[in-house]
């Protein structure tokens, strides 16, 4: 079942209000005129956006442009001051930090918060196997490497069978080689499970390698929106890749030839 987070202008509720009228909006995500204001400044300014089910969208923007604010609204962790946001009820977030509970073994972290059969060890192990971590089911989080911890966090997200997967710079703290492996894993799992996926990132090449569509957030709105015209599997380089890379860097205010 899908859920509507509905907000009336100038009436910011203490908690998001939920209703069951998502049927009128077939997109997995639909945002209409959403604004979020901090200290009198509009971080998000009457923003509009839609994301289809199964679509992988990367969101770029300068630091402080509102990327994480938008993700937090979609996750239900924050509320807009005005506007409406329709999202699936089944949605999960993977943050930059794994946020594992240190006093619980890895498999229990995967199913934390679930009940009944959904919280079974069998289900946890199946999710861990998908991310290549089945052999660490009984490990304590403190013994995991950074990449392993993020794999556990990803298993925790996917075991909930989300219709919307939100990724907030989940590879930022990883070394280059582990980051490449995690990028491929995210791509493969997103295709296998089919949720709408929104990846917040500062990495232009990462956005092109993974996404069906790349957005640039500027002045509180979507300032650029383009589909990635490259088949999977992708690798960096080539005329089409470089052309899109240069365009995205330009949209981000980076002069040509200066790199990321």
| Least confidently predicted of 5-14, 132-141, 232-241 | 5-14
Q: What is the mean pLDDT of residues 198-212?
A: 96
Q: How many whole angstroms separate alpha carbon 131 and alpha carbon 195?
A: 16
Note whether residue 132 is domain-resident.
yes
Q: How many whole angstroms separate alpha carbon 163 and alpha carbon 136?
A: 27
Asked if residue 11 has pLDDT above 60, the reply is no
Closest residue by Cα to residue 5 from 21, 91, 55, 57: 21
Closest residue by Cα to residue 168 from 61, 37, 53: 61
Domain count, the chain: 1
CB 98 within 8 A of CB 150: yes
The average confidence (pLDDT) of the chain is 88
Note whether residue 231 is domain-resident.
no
Closest residue by Cα to residue 112 from 153, 142, 148: 153
Residue 173, pLDDT score: 87
Rg of the chain on CA atoms, in Å: 19
Token pair in block for residue 80: 């807009």
Note whether residue 93 is domain-resident.
no
Note whether residue 250 is domain-resident.
no
Instruction: State the residue range of the domain holding 140.
Output: 101-161
Note whether residue 135 is domain-resident.
yes
CB 83 within 8 A of CB 32: yes
Asked if residue 256 has pLDDT above 90, the reply is no
pLDDT level of residue 167 (50, 70, 90 thresholds): very high
Residue in the block written with tokens 């209703």: 19
**What is the pTM for the complete model shown?**
0.88
Note whether residue 146 is domain-resident.
yes
Residue 22, pLDDT score: 44
Asked if residue 90 has pLDDT above 50, the reply is yes
Q: How many whole angstroms separate alpha carbon 199 and alpha carbon 59?
A: 6
CB 249 within 8 A of CB 256: yes
Asked if residue 259 has pLDDT above 60, the reply is no
Beta bridge partners of 119: none
Residue 12, pLDDT score: 38
Q: How many whole angstroms separate alpha carbon 69 and alpha carbon 71?
A: 5
In 20-134, where does DSSP find H-type helix? 67-75, 106-110, 121-130
Note whether residue 119 is domain-resident.
yes
Note whether residue 168 is domain-resident.
no
Closest residue by Cα to residue 71 from 103, 32, 29: 29
Residue 64, pLDDT score: 85
pLDDT tens string 42-79? 999 999 999 999 999 999 999 889 999 999 999 999 99
For residue 153, with 0-12 CB atoms within 10 Å meaning exposed, 13-18 middle and 19 or more buried, which class applies? buried
């Amino acid at each position: 079942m899908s859920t509507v987070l509905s907000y009336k202008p100038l009436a910011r509720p203490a908690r998001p209000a939920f209703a069951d009228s998502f049927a009128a909006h077939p997109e997995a995500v639909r945002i209409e005129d959403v604004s979020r204001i901090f200290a009198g400044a509009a971080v998000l300014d009457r923003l509009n956006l839609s994301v289809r089910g199964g679509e992988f969208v990367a969101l770029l923007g300068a630091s402080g442009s509102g990327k994480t604010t938008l993700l937090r609204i979609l996750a239900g962790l924050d509320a807009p001051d005005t506007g409406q946001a329709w999202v699936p009820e089944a949605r999960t977030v993977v943050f930059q930090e794994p946020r594992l509970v240190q006093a619980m073994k890895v498999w229990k972290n995967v199913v934390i918060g679930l009940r009944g059969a959904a919280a079974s060890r069998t289900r946890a192990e199946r999710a861990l196997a998908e991310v290549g971590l089945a052999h660490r089911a009984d490990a304590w989080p403190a013994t995991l490497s950074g990449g392993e911890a993020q794999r556990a966090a990803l298993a925790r997200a996917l075991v909930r069978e989300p219709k919307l997967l939100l990724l907030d710079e989940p590879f930022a703290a990883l070394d280059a080689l582990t980051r490449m492996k995690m990028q491929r894993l995210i791509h493969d799992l997103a295709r296998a499970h089919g949720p709408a996926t929104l990846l917040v990132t500062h990495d232009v090449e990462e956005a092109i390698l993974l996404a069906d569509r790349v957005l640039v957030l500027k002045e509180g709105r979507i300032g650029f929106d383009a589909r990635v015209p490259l088949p999977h599997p992708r690798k960096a380089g080539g005329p089409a890749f470089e052309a899109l890379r240069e365009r995205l860097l330009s949209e981000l205010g980076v002069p040509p030839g200066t790199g990321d």
